Structure 1
Amino acid sequence: MKQKLLTGLVAAAMLGVMALPATAQNLAIVNGKAVPKERADALKQQLERSGRPITPDIEGQIKEEVIAREIFMQEAQKRGLEAAQDYKAQMELARQTILIRELFADYQKTNPVTDAEIKAEYDKFAAANAGKEYKASHILVEKEDEAKAILAALKKGGKFEDIAKKQSKDPGSGTRGGDLGWANPGSYVPEFTEALVKLEKGKTTPAPVKSQFGWHIIRLDDTREAELPKLDDVKPQIAQQLQQQKLMKFQEELRAKAKVE
């Protein structure tokens, strides 16, 4: 059972163990052929990178897995399966995958994201999200007449939340009585934003507001200064995002320079 579990766990990791030095301390001798210890070491490194702790039990399973694979490889070679076209095609795909992975890893190693780049990205985020946040509610309907009727009902004492639950066609906020939560006003469509920022706290738009989604009745529930996360709290996420952006740009540059006929 343990060996079956390990086989599933390391199937992908073994792709990284394609070419190892011949001169090495042997893990075992299988049918007179030495099995280099580096195979087990490389597999262990792959598992460690995936976050799997290497316990003595896992080390034993790794050893058994490497030995089993050598036995199966020898049998496949005896049967001449290395000459099969399907095997060669799969080996070429595996070689490409590993080599490309190494190319990207080398690029990221030689082009690391700097603290200055992270700070600049954070400053852009802070500038775009600074200022006031608005807590708003709305009721969205399809027709202007419906919106006007709702406004009339509100003036007569109708409860905003109850009407939103019954009539709003916005499934997200409608079930919450129209509550949209806290947001930067710029996150809404322009017509909604323009009407929202003109409202006083607790007030509702005097007339329906039309947008691409329909007709809105908007209420401003509260405002506050935006609470931005500290740089140190989001630094890992920003670094990862910039790293991906750099890698994508590198890939695009290579494709742009390539002559494809």
Structure 2
Amino acid sequence: MTFKPARLLTALIAVVAMPAFAQNIAVVNGKAIPSSLAEAAVKQVVAQGQEKDSPQLREMIKKDLITREVMMQEAVKRGFAKDANVKAQLEEVRQRLVVNAMAREYIAKNPIAEAEIKAEYDRFKAFAEKEYHLRHILVDSEADAKAVIAKLKGGAKFEELAKTSKDAGTAAKGGDLDWVNPMSFPKVLIDTLAGMKKGEVAENPVQTQDGFHVVKLDDTRAAKLPTYEELKPELQQSLVQKKLLAYQDAVLKKAKVQ
């Protein structure tokens, strides 16, 4: 087929114009929605494992972006973009996005080493190799707690005294906390349990933010621990958070706050 000059020029213009048109998924009231927004949304959804990349997903995202743009234009037209509360929230989001971008770059340049994760797992194993079956009686003051301990030494039943505990959830069960892992314990309780035998009541009350606890150790057993591979993602995330907190503290120390 032979093109006449005018038809050939039209075809060439169409070929040149197509990439520019493909850069946008739609134009809403004269404002273009770039295809890069849709591509980013597709990647995010697919990365989260919610959906697979498909024509249906892309069409759904396209409709969502168009709807969002239409509603945004309407909100701006009605003056909501100038609302003081909206501006404050936008600034908060802006700060969070910028700081998160910096944090991601910091971790990318200072990654958590495999040896660090393994060392953290070893610490976890040493710390959580036992589970404890505990009972407690929670009271307001150290004096009240010592009075309870004195009654127990005098022959009173722990289960009976537990009925007066401030912890309503365990008071009716004789103070029974069931089997618990020390990972959830405050250090002061761990130190107390270290010297106790089965069936014993702690000599001294344990103070936490909730009050004073009279603690009884019913039993211990070996804990069923997750494997290194099972726990690795959680340990890695914990180490990332620690590293970011240390970085945050270092930056704060350099700041001049008045």
TM-score (normalised: structure 1): 0.60
Q: Deviations over 1:66-122 (max 9, x none)?
A: 334555677889x7x8x9696988776655443333222222222222211101111
> Partner of 1:43 in structure 2?
41
Please tell me whether residue 222 in structure 1 is matched to residue 216 in structure 2: no
* Whole-Å separation in 1 of the counterparts to 2:23 and 2:68: 18
Contact kept, 8 Å, 1:147 with 1:215, in 2: the verdict is: no
Partner amino acid, structure 2, of 1:236: P
* Whole-Å separation in 2 of the counterparts to 1:136 and 1:42: 51
Contact kept, 8 Å, 2:112 with 2:239, in 1: the verdict is: yes
- Which deviates the most, 92-101 or 174-183? 92-101
Q: How many angstroms does 1:180 deviate by?
A: 3.8
Contact kept, 8 Å, 1:209 with 1:215, in 2: the verdict is: no
* 2:133 alignment partner, one of 135, 139, 146: 135
> Partner of 2:246 in structure 1?
249
Q: How many angstroms does 1:37 deviate by?
A: 1.7
Q: How many angstroms does 1:166 deviate by?
A: 3.1
Q: How many angstroms does 1:124 deviate by?
A: 2.0
Partner amino acid, structure 2, of 1:251: Q
Q: How many angstroms does 1:240 deviate by?
A: 0.7
Please tell me whether residue 25 in structure 1 is matched to residue 23 in structure 2: yes
* TM-aligned CA distance change 1:57 to 1:138, over 3 Å: same
* TM-aligned CA distance change 1:216 to 1:256, over 3 Å: closer
TM-score (normalised: structure 2): 0.61
Contact kept, 8 Å, 1:140 with 1:214, in 2: the verdict is: yes
CA RMSD, aligned part only?
4.5
The runs of 5 or more residues in structure 1 that have no matched partner are 1-21
> Partner of 1:13 in structure 2?
none
* Whole-Å separation in 2 of the counterparts to 1:38 and 1:241: 33
Partner amino acid, structure 2, of 1:112: P
Q: Deviations over 1:166-207 (max 9, x none)?
A: 34455454332233434559955489547x62x4x4x556xx
Contact kept, 8 Å, 2:165 with 2:171, in 1: the verdict is: yes
Aligned residues: 226
* TM-aligned CA distance change 1:177 to 1:105, over 3 Å: same
Please tell me whether residue 60 in structure 1 is matched to residue 59 in structure 2: yes
The runs of 5 or more residues in structure 2 that have no matched partner are 1-19
* Whole-Å separation in 1 of the counterparts to 2:165 and 2:75: 66
Please tell me whether residue 179 in structure 1 is matched to residue 176 in structure 2: yes
* Whole-Å separation in 2 of the counterparts to 1:71 and 1:248: 41
